[in-house]
Amino acid sequence: MTVHLVDHNLSDSAVARAARVSTVGQTHKTALDGPREDSDRDAGLIGYLMRERHGSPFEHGSLTLYVEAPIFVFREWQRHRIASYNEESARYRELRPDFYLPPVDRPLVQVGKPGAYTFESGTDEQLATVDTELVAAYRAAYQAYERMLAAGIAREIARAALPVGIYSSMYVTMNPRGLMNFLSLRTHREGAAFVSHPQREIEMCAEKAEAIFADLMPVTHAAFQANGRVAP
């Protein structure tokens, strides 16, 4: 799975700037050209905003990512509505035969009941079953797809045969607040204030997105983590 940074205008100082309009108001315009607030004050303010759930200052900016992942991951991701998406279209183009296989360290066995599953590693035999069955199903599906296309059938019909394990690609744009909400629900990390149960595959994408976020907004990311990974 791939998560690349495409474009952004994020910064910790933009959060502090937006928040200060509350208390500084019309004189703020002057401050735009004046000396920068020192970053220690910014960090204190950002921590306060996060703890007190003042979410709006975390919305002034956007992050665009290019993502390649299986359709079943995109199905979960695109349920997040405070975000913008453009995805490769299987109506407009022929999809390529790229399919998802679980990495060898992916736990394969689900234990427990809905809403409280835990996972355990599979046996070697189970891992072999997954590989064999997925590869065979993927191959059969793609061959059927190609034969339909060769027979002149429209792509949008032929694609019905394709599995949700096939890779797609998209651009996704979020603001920092929306991204933190996404991370709070799609990762399962130490220090989180509540337990989330993301599927491992979207979590792998979310972790890549989080690394990019932490690099671009280190103070905001640290405050998010310190606040139990709850979006403000």
Q: What SS3 state is found at 96?
A: coil
**Does 97 engage in binding with its own copies (CB under 8 A)?**
no
Please tell me the distance from the alpha carbon of residue 104 to that of residue 124, in angstroms, as a whole number: 10
Taking CB under 8 A as the criterion, the residue among 36, 44, 56, 121 binding its own copies is 56
Residues 205-224 that bind its own copies (CB under 8 A): none
176 membership: H or E segment, kind and range: helix 176-186
Give the shortest CB-43-to-its own copies separation in angstroms: 15
Binding to its own copies by residue 192, rule CB under 8 A? no
Segment near its own copies (CB under 8 A), from 24-32, 34-42, 208-216, 217-225? 24-32
Provide the token pair at 106. Answer: 């992916």
Is residue 39 near its own copies by the rule CB under 8 A? no
In angstroms, the CA 152 to CA 147 distance is 9
Restricted to residues 151-190, the positions that interact with its own copies (CB under 8 A) are 151-165, 167-171, 173, 175, 185
H/E element, 72: helix 71-77
* Active-site residue, selected from the candidate residues 186, 189, 200, 229: 186
Pairing, β 2-8 against β 84-87: unpaired
- Give the binding-site size for its own copies (rule: CB under 8 A): 109
Residues 44, 104, 110, 121: which binds its own copies (CB under 8 A)? 110
Q: Which two tokens stand for residue 33?
A: 């050209």
Residue 103 engages its own copies in binding (rule: CB under 8 A): no
**Residue 167 dihedral angles phi and psi, to the nearest 5°:** -75, 145
Determine, following the binding rule CB under 8 A, whether residue 104 of this chain makes contact with its own copies: no
What distance, in Å, lies between the first and last C-alpha atoms of the chain? 28
Q: Figure out which of the listed residues 134, 212, 214, 222 binds its own copies, where binding follows CB under 8 A.
A: 134
Minimum distance of its own copies from residue 57's CB (angstroms): 6
Can residue 225 be called a binding residue for its own copies (CB under 8 A)? Answer: no
Question: Contact between 96 and its own copies (CB under 8 A)?
Answer: yes
Is 159 part of the annotated catalytic residue set?
no
Ramachandran assignment for 155, one of left (phi > 0), alpha (psi -120 to 50 degrees), beta (any other): alpha
CA 46 to chain centre: 23
Torsion on CA atoms 104, 105, 108, 111, rounded to nearest 10: 170
Q: Kindly tell me which residue out of 40, 105, 124, 125 binds its own copies, with binding defined by CB under 8 A.
A: 125
- If one asks whether residue 41 binds its own copies (CB under 8 A), the answer comes out as no
Active site residues: 186
